[in-house]
Amino acid sequence: MGPLVKSSPGKYKIVQITTACQAAKKRLMMLGVLVGDEIELIKPSPGPVIIEKGGTRIGLGQGMASCIIVNKITKETK
């Protein structure tokens, strides 16, 4: 478990969004990125972090990606 910004490509489950900034939480909600969602990390840092959720790719800045805490999905955790 750790921040999305420090993760390697693969499938993850969002377990927490740690930002105290309400605007950032609202932006993530508008993008459809919510706690409990399963996502795939396509492109990690440096630069924009690209995730895929439900067939849609979403680009996130490093600041926003650092607020998303994820847990890697393995065959054992499914």
Which domains are delineated in the chain?
2-72 (2.30.30.90)
pLDDT surpassing 60 at residue 1: yes
The pair phi, psi for residue 29, each rounded to 5°, is: -65, -40
pLDDT in tens, 7-44: 999 999 999 998 777 888 888 899 899 999 999 999 99
d(CA 29, CA 6): 21
Average pLDDT, the chain: 90
Q: Which residues pair with 16 in a beta bridge?
A: 69
pLDDT-derived band of residue 76, with 50, 70 and 90 as boundaries?
Answer: low
Q: Reduced to 3 states, what is the DSSP secondary structure of residue 22?
A: helix
Using the CB atoms, write b or e for 15-34: b if 16+ within 10 Å.
Answer: eebeeeeeebbeebeeeebe
pLDDT surpassing 90 at residue 57: yes
pTM, rounded to two decimals: 0.86
